[in-house]
Structure 1
Amino acid sequence: MKERGCKAMKSYKNQVLVVCLNPTFQETLVYKRLQIGEVNRTRLHRLDASGKGMNVVRVLTQLGTNCTLLSHLGGSRIQEFLELANKDKVNIVWTDSNSPIRTCITILQTEVFSTTELIQESESVQIGTEEEIRHLYTKHLKEVDAVIFSGTRSPGYSENLYAQMVKEAKDTGKFVVLDYRGEDLKRSLSMKPNIIKPNLSEFCSTFFPSYDVIAEQQDSGHLKQQVSQIMKELYDKYQTMTIITHGSKDLWAYDGVSWYEIPAKKVKAINTIGCGDAFTAGLVHAYINEQCFSQALDTALNAAALNATCITPGSLYDNSLKNFAR
């Protein structure tokens, strides 16, 4: 469908607060080809502070946007996480959850250009963590004009936490972007976030829970009519714009005026972990630099494409090759 107009965006000049309640150590291991059932030795690997929000802040920082990550940290590796974040010039405000930071593993195969993600589920945060997060959130919310909520919350937080935090941001006039799914997303919609940005699998699992899981490379054309109808209903009811990514497939978006169907940028992908986070960062960076919606989508797609060409997850360039072990 053709774009029918360019919806101007309001200008925000101050900081962005990114909320991520699921921090991660990201181990990236590179092989020519992984042999299942065999001993596999890698000559190339790296360790990064990660989690969706950390990836978003790293890219925003690389783009030159002032931003802060709000999260919890816990366990015996807090200082290691902070040192890794400091190398990326990421500013973090945090509270101790007394729960260990999880580790996720990315396996890259260079011969077949594949990315495989092994996810460790988070442990529950301890009693009192949510109260401290809310205190830090209210304090730092005063300093910013835009808030990004990125990723699912760890166990131990109350089911209404995200919705309450979104309401607080909207009540104080902040621009709010949500990148999470499921019941948390549904509960947050009545607070009228400005943009939601799930991928297609997350969108379908939220609004069409009886559907099978949508794989990243799966054809999605048969879903377009149903998905676009929900996107329009969300805008009509909540004035919320929707952007849906689907890996290397076309992006779908609706801003209340126009439907957008835009091809992903074609690149030789190395590591696709963090592409959605780079997209979110590029989108908000464009927004605060007064780009209209269609321009912001293009900026976001460029950021996602750059991320895919890097080994570092959630980054526009590999600026720390010395962090690699060989």
Structure 2
Amino acid sequence: MKKILTVTLNPAIDVRYNVENMRVGEVNRTKHIEKNAGGKGINVSRVINQLGGDILATGIVGGFTGKLFLSKLNADGIKNNFLETEYETRTCIAVIDKDIKGITEFLESAEGTTEDFKKFVEKYISILDSGVDIVCGSGSLLKGIGTDAYNVLIEEAKKRGIKFILDTSGDSLKKGMEAKPFLIKPNQEELEDLTGKKFNNLSEVVDTAKEIINTGIENVMVTLGGDGAILVTKEKVYKGTFPKVEIKNTVGSGDSTIAGMAYGLSMDKSIDECFRLAIACGTTNAMVDSTGSIDHEILKDITPKIVIEEM
């Protein structure tokens, strides 16, 4: 089994409120509350850990919230090695009301400095040199850190022959792509924002992914919500779909998809089988209440039902 490193440069304490009959502008009392270590890379870490992978989580945390974050991560049994700074780690709140479609979210931003990032890069290089095979860089960047932060991390990984999976959006995705990571995973909306195009059919999504492959990125996986996902490699195009299931919570499904892909690679599975596991993990996450989590019994049942077709 190969070692996986996840990078979360803008982690959070994720607070989840379950309420009934939410009323804007009035007092609302929670029926249930959860506080967890969060951030896209942490969701990836949690699922890989649940799969039994060899995982280490790193990134930048700070302040009292950062200490709470690390205690939650340790309680989850996720090995970690974070840079601790003075800047307070953010808190993100999700409000779930079963009678309201969708999830109401309040997302804080958090600060960082270029000096913090320089210190983190030193730590990151040290971790890479200790023996890492796959890196997953996920999520947004701290304010004050340049949009080219992922470029630095990707280039350091590539120098050492380490595969880098990038899952971010906006300017950090656009800049990160310049360093030619092993795989990127935008959803359709993020791909449209990236290219300035509005896709009318699947063929247009595939053609755009092929254009990205031609720039030197090895693999492009585009998630399509309820329509599954596509994976475009240098040689082939795959379409993956999942059966009709009861959806409980889609938050973290994209991160769970990344986790399945990374874990599959760590087990030397073929790329199409990695893709199958990726979709299975994303689907399983959507079928459970927790964010960035899987249920092994559901995963065992769902995986053989994932249909992978070569286009």
TM > 0.5: yes
Structure 1 residue aligned with 2:293:
315
- Indicate yes or no: 2:224 matched with 1:237: no
User: What residue identity is the alignment partner of 1:273?
Assistant: V
User: What residue identity is the alignment partner of 1:170?
Assistant: K
- Indicate yes or no: 2:290 matched with 1:290: no
**Number of positions where the alignment pairs a residue of Structure 1 with one of Structure 2:** 295
Tell whether the 8 Å contact from 1:113 to 1:269 is kept in structure 2 after alignment.
Answer: no
User: What residue identity is the alignment partner of 2:204?
Assistant: Q
Structure 2 residue aligned with 1:24:
12
- Indicate yes or no: 2:166 matched with 1:188: no
TM-score (norm 2): 0.88
Q: 1:55 aligns with which of 37, 40, 43?
A: 43
Q: 1:172 aligns with which of 153, 160, 171?
A: 160
Runs of 4+ in structure 1 deviating by more than 6 angstroms, as ranges, are none
User: What residue identity is the alignment partner of 1:306?
Assistant: T
Structure 2 residue aligned with 1:84:
72
**1:247 CA displacement:** 2.5
Q: Which is bigger in relative contact order (C-alpha 8 A, separation at least 6)?
A: 1
Tell whether the 8 Å contact from 1:113 to 1:270 is kept in structure 2 after alignment.
Answer: no
Structure 2 residue aligned with 1:306:
284
> Cα deviation per residue 1:89-127 (whole Å; 9 max; x = unaligned)?
1112112232111111112222456333322222x2145
Structure 2 residue aligned with 1:10:
none
SS in 2 for 1:157: coil
- Indicate yes or no: 2:112 matched with 1:119: no
> Cα deviation per residue 1:149-205 (whole Å; 9 max; x = unaligned)?
101111121232211210111111001111012232233323321110111121211
Tell whether the 8 Å contact from 2:231 to 2:237 is kept in structure 1 after alignment.
Answer: yes
SS in 2 for 1:261: strand
**1:265 CA displacement:** 4.5
Which deviates more from structure 2 when the two are superposed, residues 138-147 or residues 256-265? 256-265
> Cα deviation per residue 1:273-293 (whole Å; 9 max; x = unaligned)?
111111100111111212222
- Aligned in 2, Cα 1:26/1:55: closer, same or farther, shift over 3 Å? same
- Indicate yes or no: 2:29 matched with 1:41: yes
**1:42 CA displacement:** 1.8
TM-score (norm 1): 0.84
Structure 2 residue aligned with 1:204:
192
SS in 2 for 1:68: strand
Tell whether the 8 Å contact from 1:23 to 1:51 is kept in structure 2 after alignment.
Answer: yes
Q: Distance in 2 between matches of 1:308 and 1:188?
A: 28
- Aligned in 2, Cα 1:78/1:127: closer, same or farther, shift over 3 Å? same
TM alignment of 1:208-223, pairs within 5 A: 208=196, 222-223=200-201
Tell whether the 8 Å contact from 2:164 to 2:183 is kept in structure 1 after alignment.
Answer: yes
RMSD over aligned Cα atoms: 2.0
